[in-house]
């Protein structure tokens, strides 16, 4: 019961500390301005050249981020000085040249990039802290407790239940990548639920990030696949007329090479993005009903808070499930690329 109470309390704190739109900071502003739901939701799930913290008395408190562009030379400046340096944002929120309207080569440290760097540093610190405990203690005589114990439980679960079962033979070669992918996704999913700095960025709900993760799995599958894997692609065990003169089955198999990582990319991106939108939508009900009177607004606010707590608890579960599913499917895809013919398996078992 204590564990459930702690989870519910955490979810309530996360919900009640969710970002409040500037128009809802004061009653007068709420009465005179229409609440822009699209701006509220997409402003929080989208990337930005500054990290907005909160709004006090119509004054936005943000962390300025460095803009780095290649446009006839290298230009480095902070986001508040964007216009001074001849740049502005287009309708999609992308940095463009204010004179020509063209997009330069942009490698700026945006909100998602900074969150990615912070989460990577945090992940390294957590792993090193766990390794430090094992360096100072004999794990054969003393069981780890607290955070090292939690990490051992997660690492053992991922290794035994996912990697060994999915990859099979030579699973040790792929364990570092798969464990890194699991904890990277899980940590960023959790940080995405936290609505205040350094959380709140939509990292794993950004398709560029999930694309890179999917490409890593794609390379692990196809660079280290064995001969039997490629034989099943280009000359599968099907009737000859399905292979020549029209290579129907090889074409389907080649398409399958790309659809597998594509499904990994879309699944993680869509689930995390949808979760963020749903939570923000639930919170927005409070401000949407602000003009409908205290009775309706009060009752809908209570419903919004209760349902929001439920959604936060659900998102904690989704954060783990999506990391689990991505790692499991990656393990299965790698294992399928290293399968051996049946007659070779029988020879190994007889030996």
Q: Is 324 within the bounds of a domain?
A: yes
> Is 101 a member of any domain?
no
- Could you identify the residue written with the tokens 């780890």? 144
**Residue 70 β-bridge partners:** 74, 105
* Per-residue confidence (pLDDT) for residue 2, from 0 to 100: 52
User: Is 49 among the domain residues?
Assistant: no
- Coil, strand, or helix at residue 239? coil
61 lies in some domain: no
Lowest mean pLDDT among 17-21, 172-176, 306-310: 17-21
pLDDT at 258: 94
In this predicted structure, what is the pLDDT of residue 8? 47
- What band does 25 get if pLDDT is binned at 50, 70 and 90? very low
The pLDDT tens digits for 272-297 are: 999 888 888 888 888 888 888 888 88
Region 141-162: mean pLDDT is 90
Closest CA to 203 of 134, 143, 275: 275
Q: Closest by alpha carbon to 280, among 37, 13, 11, 35?
A: 37
CA pair distance 319, 275, nearest whole angstrom: 10
- The answer to whether position 102 is within a domain reads no
Summarize pLDDT for 179-212 with one digit per residue, the tens: 999 999 999 999 988 877 778 888 999 999 999 9
CB 34 within 8 A of CB 99: no
Helices (H), 205-247: 207-223, 227-234
Q: Is residue 229 part of a domain?
A: yes
Q: Look over the chain and give the mean of its residue pLDDT values, rounded to a whole number.
A: 84
- For residue 287, the enclosing domain spans 112-342
Does some domain include residue 31?
A: no
Q: Total domain count for the chain?
A: 1
- CB count within 10 Å of CB 60 equals 11
Residue 235: pLDDT band (50, 70, 90) is confident
Is residue 98 in a domain?
no
């Amino acid at each position: 019961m204590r564990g459930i109470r702690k989870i519910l309390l955490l979810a309530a704190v996360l919900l009640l500390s969710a970002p409040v739109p500037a128009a809802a900071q004061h009653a007068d502003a709420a009465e005179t301005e229409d609440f822009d739901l699209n701006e509220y939701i997409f402003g929080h799930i989208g990337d930005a050249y500054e990290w907005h913290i909160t709004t006090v008395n119509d004054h936005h408190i943000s962390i300025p981020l460095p803009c780095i562009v290649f446009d006839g030379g290298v230009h480095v400046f902070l986001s508040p000085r964007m216009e001074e340096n001849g740049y502005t944002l287009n309708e999609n929120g992308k940095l463009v040249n204010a004179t020509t309207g063209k997009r330069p080569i942009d490698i700026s440290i945006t909100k998602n990039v900074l969150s990615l760097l912070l989460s990577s540093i945090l992940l390294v610190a957590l792993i090193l802290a766990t390794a430090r405990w094992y360096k100072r203690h004999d794990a054969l005589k003393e069981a780890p407790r607290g955070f090292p114990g939690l990490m051992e439980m997660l690492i053992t679960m991922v290794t035994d239940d996912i990697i060994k079962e999915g990859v099979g033979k030579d699973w040790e070669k792929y364990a570092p990548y798969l464990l890194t992918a699991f904890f990277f996704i899980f940590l960023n999913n959790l940080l995405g639920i936290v609505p205040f700095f350094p959380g709140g960025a939509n990292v794993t709900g950004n398709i560029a990030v999930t694309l890179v993760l999917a490409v890593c799995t794609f390379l692990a599958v196809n660079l280290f696949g064995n001969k039997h894997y490629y034989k099943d692609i280009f000359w599968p065990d099907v009737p000859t007329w399905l292979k020549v003169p029209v290579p129907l089955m090889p074409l389907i198999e080649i398409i399958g090479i790309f659809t597998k990582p594509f499904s990994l990319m879309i699944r993680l991106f869509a689930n995390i993005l949808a979760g963020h939108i749903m939570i923000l939508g639930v919170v927005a009900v409070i401000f949407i009903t602000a003009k409908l009177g205290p009775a309706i607004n009060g009752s809908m606010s209570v419903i919004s808070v209760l349902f929001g707590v439920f959604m936060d608890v659900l998102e904690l579960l989704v954060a783990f499930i999506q990391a689990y599913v991505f790692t499991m499917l990656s393990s299965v895809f790698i294992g399928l690329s290293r399968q051996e013919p049946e007659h070779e398996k029988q020879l190994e078992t007889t030996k």
